[in-house]
Amino acid sequence: MPPPFPAFSLIVARLTAAVASTTLRNISSVITDHRSNPKEFVLAPRIVPPALEAIEQETMTDKVYQQLREALMSGRFAPGQALSLRSVAEAVGSSTMPVRAALTRLRAERALADGPNRALVVPPMTIEMLDELRDVRIALEGCVAERAATRMSVSQIAEVRRICEAMNAHVEAGRSRAYLQSNFAFHSAIYAHGASENTLAIIRNLWMRIGPFLNMIALDVPHMRRSMDAHRAIVDALERRDGAGARAGIALDIGGAAHDLAETLAAERARLGPRRLANE
């Protein structure tokens, strides 16, 4: 009885010779030559693609949200500033749909509040709210800084020192906006190494509430210099791997800013009078 595939051994021999010559053209011709003959069977090699990693696609809504969130945290929006769909869409170069979704999310997180003419505004701050934010931030951010002191590498601490020196240069030059952005970068560089993503999300939410009000004291040179003393104390503690010292420096920084801001808010409300306060 003849073998079921009479040409199989011949094909294998030809394929082996083709592989030895390392020319794909020869392999292709061997397979092609036998496709026209139904009596001959060719087993084509299975081609397996290389392993691929999934690509995360960031939506436009996510990008708009992150940009607005960072602007709030770094003090680029002022208290009471209105954010309309059209103005934000024009600024970020987007349609209104992702902007609406991003603003709605920020409103749900209480970073924005309803304002006139269907716009959303940066909400006002009361002394009571400021005191509560101060206490929560000192407890949470102090704990995170304490953990970071023993987790950060030498190069990571050196980067925090570099940011601190840049902040001091901004203070001496009177660059308040650049100072606020560096202040945000300073704290972020520390907290990234002392907290989980869940804890960082809570901290970001707190910063969205307090960030716009730091504008009110950023032009106060005495405040900025006191703040720099606290920042240098934090960096010194990190370099010593002194967790308690880092926590104390955070408390000094947040507490000092809250004190100066409370005085500024009280003076502003006294100037505006009871009628304006009632409208808030």
Q: What is the pLDDT of residues 67-120, one digit of tens each?
A: 999 999 998 998 999 999 999 999 999 899 999 999 999 999 999 999 988 889
> CB-based contacts of 84: which residues, under 8 Å, 6+ apart?
117, 118, 119, 120
Q: What single-letter DSSP state applies at residue 51?
A: P
pLDDT at 47: 52
Residues facing residue 120 across a β-bridge:
83, 114
CA 125 to chain centre: 25
pLDDT single digits (tens) 37-71: 544 444 445 555 555 555 455 689 999 999 999 99
Phi, psi of 80 (to 5 degrees): 85, -5
Its pTM stands at: 0.74
d(CA 23, CA 95): 53
- Among 84, 150, 69, which Cα is nearest to 118's? 84
